[in-house]
Chain A
Amino acid sequence: MDLSAFESDNSVSCRLSSPIPDVCKTEDCCLGIDEAGRGPVLGPMVYGICFCPVSRKEALKNLKVADSKTLTEAERENLFRKLDEAKSFVGWALQMLSPNTISTSMLQRAKYNLNALSHDAAIGLVQFALDCGVQLKEVFVDTVGPAEKYQEKLSKLFPEVAVTVRPKADSLFPIVSAASICAKVARDHAVQSWKFTEDLGDVDTDYGSGYPNDPKTKSWLLKYLDPVFGYPQFVRFSWSTAQTLLDSKAATVHWDDDDEDGEKAAARQKNTSMLSFLSHSKPAELKHTRDTHRFFTERKLQSSNTL
C-alpha cells in the first residue's frame, strides 16, 4: 500500500483510493464502510470503503475476507494483496484522519466530537464513490453510536441508496470485512512507518499497540512529554490519557475557553456575582473610582507600574 500521499503531510486528513473498476460504473454496486484505530491514543484513525458490483459478492466471499480483528497481521496483508489484485471488480478508498486532525477537531472552540468526525468521514467517502461514478445501490456500515439514528442520517443523505447500519457488520457482510481490512492495513502501515515532523532525534518506536491501557504506550507517552509543547503530533491530545499526563506533568496552559464556573470565575471576568447585590457593602468595583477612558479599555491598554 502506497501511503506516500499521507506521509508527505501527516498532520492533516488525506484520502487514498484505488482506481475505480469499470464494472462499478455500469453495474449496481454494494459498498461497505469500516474504520480502524478509533480507540488508540497514538496514530491516525482510518476510514475505509470497499465496493464491488452486487453480482460479484460471491467472488468476494471466495477471497475469504473476514473481520480484520480475527486475523493476524500477515493474514490481513495477504488479504489486502488479494483485494488489490481483484481490481477488475473491487475498488477501495481510504480517509486517513491524522491524530492531529482528531486532536484539533475535538479540542477546538466549537467541539467536534469523534462520532461526528467518524460520521463525516464515512459520508465523505460514500459521496466520493458516488462522485467517481460508482453505481451505488447498497451501503453496509458498522455502526458508530446508535445504529438506528446513524442509518436514518445516512438514508436521508443518500436517498437513492439502501443503507444498512449494523453493529458487528464487519463479520456479517464480506464487503464490510473487506473495507475493514483496507482500513486496518493502512493504519498499521501508517503507525509503523510514522514520520515524526518534530525533531526528536532517534525516536524510540517501541510504543506498543497505541491503546491507552498498554503499559508500553503509557511509558512512551511519559518519555516523550515535553513540558511546554506536550507531545509530538503522533499523539491524540484529546484523549483523556494524554490530558491526564499533561495536567500532572506539563506546564499549565490556560485558554480563554477553559470552562470555569462559580464566583471565582465571575470575579476573574470582572463580572459581579449575583450574591454581591444581596449583601450590604458594595463590591470594590462599584465604588466610585475614575474609569479608564474607553479608548484604552477597548484596546486593552493599561498604564503599568511594574515591568
Chain B
Amino acid sequence: MTTKKKRSAHTNRDRWVVIAPDSVLDTGSSADSDPSFTKLKNPATGSSSLYLFGCGDVRVYEVKAFNEEFRSWFIGQTVQRDGRLLYVTPIDCLFLLLPYIRSAATEGKFQPVKQMVMDEDFPGCTRLLKCKQGLDSLHHVADEKEVGGLKFHRYNQEKTMEWLKKKVQRTVSTLKKSNISVGGGVKSSTFVRVKQEADATEEDYLRYAHGLISEYISEDLSKDLLKHLQLPEISSPKETEPPSKKRKLSDKPVEAGEDYTKFNSADFARKAPKKMTAAQKTLAKVDKTGMKSIAAFFSPKVKQEKN
C-alpha cells in the first residue's frame, strides 16, 4: 500500500516494552539503587551490548530484544513505532567477567580482580565487581590465593573448561525438560512436532547446548569447549564453496566447449520481462521460510548434522 515511501530512521526511543523478573525492581538494602541499563563488552563478540544492573548492582541481567519486522505497539492512547519486546533475563556474571580474567592470564601472575576488570571502552564493567554471585564463583575459572586478607586470582583454562562443561550439561537437561527441538530437521520454533523428538540423539543435544553456551563465550573458547566435550568439529555448509570453475591455462588452442550458435536465431531473441499474472503473484507470496534455496541442492555434499 505504501511501499513507495522511504522509511525514516527509528526515532522516539524513549519508551520500551520490557519483560523483566520482579527481582529487577527489588532495590535491595540501599535506597538509591534503581535498576539501570549499561553497555558492557559482549563476551562472545567483544562488541558492545546492553545489560541491566539491579538490586544495587548485586545482580546483572542481559537484555535480548524480540525484533521482527513490521511490528508496532499500541500503548494506552499512543502508537509506538518500535515493535520490539525487550527481555531482561538473569545472566551468570561470570560470563561477563571471564574475558577480563582470561586476558589478564597472559601475564601468568596472580592478581586482584579489581586490577583485571578494567576497560576504557566499557567503564561500566567495574560495576560487575559488586556482583556477589560472580565474585563468589571466580574459583570456577581461576586459581585463588589469599594473602593478608586480600584475594588474588589467576585464570585456569582446565577449570574453565570443566565449568563450561557443567553449563552445557545443565543446558542439555533444560533443553530436554522444555521440549526444545534440537534436531537438524526442525527449522522453525513455531513448528511443533506432535511426536516427541525421539530421533534427537545425545550428541544433538550436546551440540545445541554447546552452541547456546557459545553465545556467551569467545570463539576460541567455544572451539576449545567443543574439543573438551569430545565433539568433532563440523564445517558449516556456508563455509564450503563450489570448486572454482576457472579454466586452466594451456598451450593448446582454445576451442568452444559447446555450440551456442543455434540459440542465435530470432526465436531466442530476448523477450521483454512479462508482467506477472495474478496466479504467479500469489505464488510469489507463498511463505518460503524454512525452504531450501534451489542452489543448496547443487553445492557439493557436506557432512550434515546427524538427525
- Point out residues on A near B: beta carbons under 8 Å: 107, 109-111, 228, 243, 246-247, 251-260, 286, 288, 290-296, 298-307
Contacts and interface: CB of A to CB of B under 8 A. Distances in A.
B42 interface: yes
A304 B219 contact: no
B233 interface: no
A256 B2 CA distance: 11
Contacts of B87: 301
A296 B1 contact: no
A290 B45 contact: yes
Given A290-B44, A295-B180, A307-B50, A256 B69 contact: yes
B70 A254 contact: yes
A198 to B, nearest CB: 14
Interface string B24-68: 000000000000010100101101111000000000001111111
Nearest to B14: A307
A247 B4 contact: yes
Interface stretch (B132-140, B207-215, B247-255, B259-267): B207-215
Given A256-B69, A290-B45, A306-B13, A296 B64 contact: yes
Interface of B: 1-5, 7, 13, 16, 37, 39, 42, 44-45, 47-50, 62-70, 79, 84, 86-87, 180, 187-189, 208, 211-212, 214-215, 219, 236, 238-239, 282, 285
Nearest to B239: A288
DSSP majority for the A interface? loop
B5 A302 contact: no
Given A109-B285, A260-B3, A305-B39, A296 B187 contact: no
Contact of A303 (B63, B70, B189): B63
DSSP majority for the B interface? loop
A185 to B, nearest CB: 34
A186 to B, nearest CB: 30
A259 B214 CA distance: 38
A293 B79 contact: no
Contact of A301 (B16, B49, B66, B187): B66
B64 A253 contact: no
Given A298-B187, A303-B42, A293 B214 contact: yes
A105 to B, nearest CB: 15
Interface centre among A109, A111, A243, A254 (most CB of B within 10 A): A254
B69 A305 contact: no
A257 to B, nearest CB: 6
A247 B48 CA distance: 38
Given A256-B69, A256-B70, A304-B65, 14 more contacts: A107-B1, A110-B282, A246-B1, A246-B2, A247-B4, A254-B2, A255-B1, A295-B211, A296-B215, A303-B49, A303-B62, A304-B63, A304-B67, A305-B47
